[in-house]
Structure 1
């Protein structure tokens, strides 16, 4: 299933304890966001890539996109104060299409098979998101006292990509903006309209590079994948 992908890339390095956008940090000499873009560059079903970036970082990001041969980048939108603002800015720019994926530029290890399943499901039902099942015991607490042990059978850790019918996500984003509603992901905006969202099981390697510990994990994943390719 053909799709267009939107990548909000206007974040900061605060939780990464870096003095610059965490996406510009390198793993084995390559910026994190380039690994992410390369996944979609290689996917024949990806028709175009749209990035939401900080105005002052756009020249550098454009330079890196050209340096690494990412030819599917079709345009840049101005990153907003919140992720939701950045995604909406991209949605307002991209031409009408069938399926739109929204993906964290800081998740460089998404598997092509998961992307394909998400796009197919979004085309069929309108909305699908990636996730993995919770493995740990989850407890609710008031202050530091446990009030409930939550049954984890029906709990999921939600990731990206999140895939949607183009008209549906445009409608959801516009409705949220007009109502002053801020969600934590795009699925919340669609859920708010009463539209069902399907979860597609992903894998635990699809981690978001957020803190210094994640960089350690990211290096380990890359080393493992290189070793697998050599065997």
Structure 2
């Protein structure tokens, strides 16, 4: 299985309230982006990794990659678009693999076993996502009033990476023509009528978006470090 990885890393992370983009924040001695890259690029199935960056941060990212031992053959950078969806599309075009993983730059706690399970699930239909059952009751709200309560046993919180046959995902992005903005890549594939397999993820595979996430991230890091 030849697998490429696209990591969109052009976000500003305004909700984190930091002075730098959240992917550059230090997590126990290394930037989050580097910790994420160490996991995904070291998976035995991965042969190509592309980090999609903003034009103004490309030099900084490439310097950071070199500093931490990632040469241009192992990890390359490309310039992204205004929206995440456009950035993923640019990353896809830089790959030559049959399969692709799309993974958030600020999910450093993904594990090899979940990536392997995801790739196995994707082989069935050409598309698979990681997700975990929601723990809370979810309600739809309109103008501050509950409109309905959703059935919790049918709800899953979606994570990354998401896995696809690369040509399938390219086709989905082209069909959207950058005019339909989806919140994740699976939505674009779903709109084509392609079944997307759900593979159970890991509650520790959090996305670092807010200051509260940072507190949880430090706890996860300490726990994993003590288990090694």
TM-score (norm 2): 0.95
Q: 1:9-20 maps to which residues of 2 (within 5 A)?
A: 9-20=9-20
Between stretches 180-189 and 74-83, larger displacement belongs to 74-83
Does the alignment pair 1:185 with 2:187?
no
State the 1:117 CA deviation.
1.3
2:83 matched residue in structure 1: 82
State the 1:98 CA deviation.
1.7
The 3-state SS of whatever aligns with 1:175 is helix
Q: 1:156-171 maps to which residues of 2 (within 5 A)?
A: 156-171=156-171
Conservation of the 8 A alpha-carbon contact between 1:17 and 1:212: yes
Conservation of the 8 A alpha-carbon contact between 2:6 and 2:88: yes
1:202 matched residue in structure 2: 201
Count of matched residue positions in the alignment of Structure 1 and Structure 2: 227
1:65 matched residue in structure 2: 65
2:123 matched residue in structure 1: 123
2:218 matched residue in structure 1: 219
TM-score (norm 1): 0.94
The 3-state SS of whatever aligns with 2:15 is coil
State the 1:195 CA deviation.
0.6
- For residues 101 and 167 of structure 1, the distance between their equivalents in structure 2, rounded to whole angstroms, comes to 12
CA-atom RMSD in angstroms:
1.3
1:175 matched residue in structure 2: 175
State the 1:214 CA deviation.
1.0
Q: 1:88-167 maps to which residues of 2 (within 5 A)?
A: 88-95=89-96, 97-167=97-167
**Where has structure 1 moved over 6 Å in runs of 4 or more?**
none
Conservation of the 8 A alpha-carbon contact between 1:101 and 1:164: yes
Between stretches 143-152 and 215-224, larger displacement belongs to 143-152
1:5 matched residue in structure 2: 5
State the 1:92 CA deviation.
1.6
Conservation of the 8 A alpha-carbon contact between 1:100 and 1:166: yes
* Unpaired runs of at least 5, structure 1: none
State the 1:183 CA deviation.
0.6
The 3-state SS of whatever aligns with 1:205 is coil
* Unpaired runs of at least 5, structure 2: none
- For residues 103 and 92 of structure 2, the distance between their equivalents in structure 1, rounded to whole angstroms, comes to 13
State the 1:146 CA deviation.
1.8
